[in-house]
Amino acid sequence: MFEGREPIYVQIAQQIRAEILAGTLPEEGQVMSTTQYATTYRINPATAAKAFAELVDEGLLYKRRGVGMFVAAGARERLLDQHRQTFFTDVLDPVLKQADLLGIGVEELVEHITRTHPRRTAR
């Protein structure tokens, strides 16, 4: 499962973020314990704990003493806001800059989006 170049704890944190975004880990839902992660994925429990600590620091998870780790209220919305901002700065802004260089105006961009992705205009 953990085949990327990033450290395993980073991959675990990314996986949990993705599950929160997708809604498979709902707010106030319990997250697998560090021991369960270690056993399931055959990793050191300290590695899983490091991922959880990162997510706690970000305000995405919180610990209930004696019960376990849970998804914090508002975690999905915080992640959506972060991803939206990243989308605009890392994806859309460079596309718009390239469109300017090519002489593609706003109207042409909107027409293209409307024609090729009609379900996007209904939102």
Range of the domain at 17: 8-73
Confidence category of residue 122, pLDDT binned at 50, 70, 90: low
Indicate whether 3 belongs to any domain: no
Same-domain status, 54 and 92:
no
Same-domain status, 91 and 65:
no
User: Is 19 in contact with 27 (CB distance < 8 Å)?
Assistant: no
Q: Quick one: pLDDT at residue 118?
A: 78
Q: Quick one: pLDDT at residue 121?
A: 56
Same-domain status, 69 and 98:
no
Same-domain status, 30 and 57:
yes
H helix or E strand, kind and range, residue 112: helix 106-116
Indicate whether 1 belongs to any domain: no
Q: Quick one: pLDDT at residue 3?
A: 80
Give me the residue label for tokens 């027409």.
Answer: 111
Query: How many CB atoms neighbour CB 25 within 10 A?
Result: 23
Taking the CA atoms of 36, 29, 10 and 47 in sequence, report the sign of the dihedral they define: negative
Same-domain status, 67 and 86:
no
Indicate whether 121 belongs to any domain: no
Q: How many structural domains compose the chain?
A: 2
Q: For 96, phi and psi rounded to 5 degrees? A: -65, -35
Which of 16, 36, 39 lies closest to 26 in space, CA to CA? 16
Question: Residues 41-84: pLDDT tens digits?
Answer: 899 999 999 999 999 999 999 999 999 999 999 999 999 999 99
Compute the mean pLDDT over every residue in the chain, rounded to the nearest whole number.
Answer: 92
Same-domain status, 65 and 84:
no
Confidence category of residue 123, pLDDT binned at 50, 70, 90: low
pLDDT for residue 90 is more than 80 = yes
| Cβ-count burial 37-60 (b if 16+ within 10 Å, e if not) | bbeebebeeebbbbbbebbeeeeb
Alpha carbon distances (Å) from 22 to 7, 36, 38: 23, 21, 23
The CATH number for 43's domain is: 1.10.10.10
* Tokens read off for 17: 């973020």
Of 42, 58, 73, at which residue does a domain stop? 73
Same-domain status, 89 and 102:
yes
Same-domain status, 66 and 100:
no
Same-domain status, 82 and 65:
no
Indicate whether 37 belongs to any domain: yes
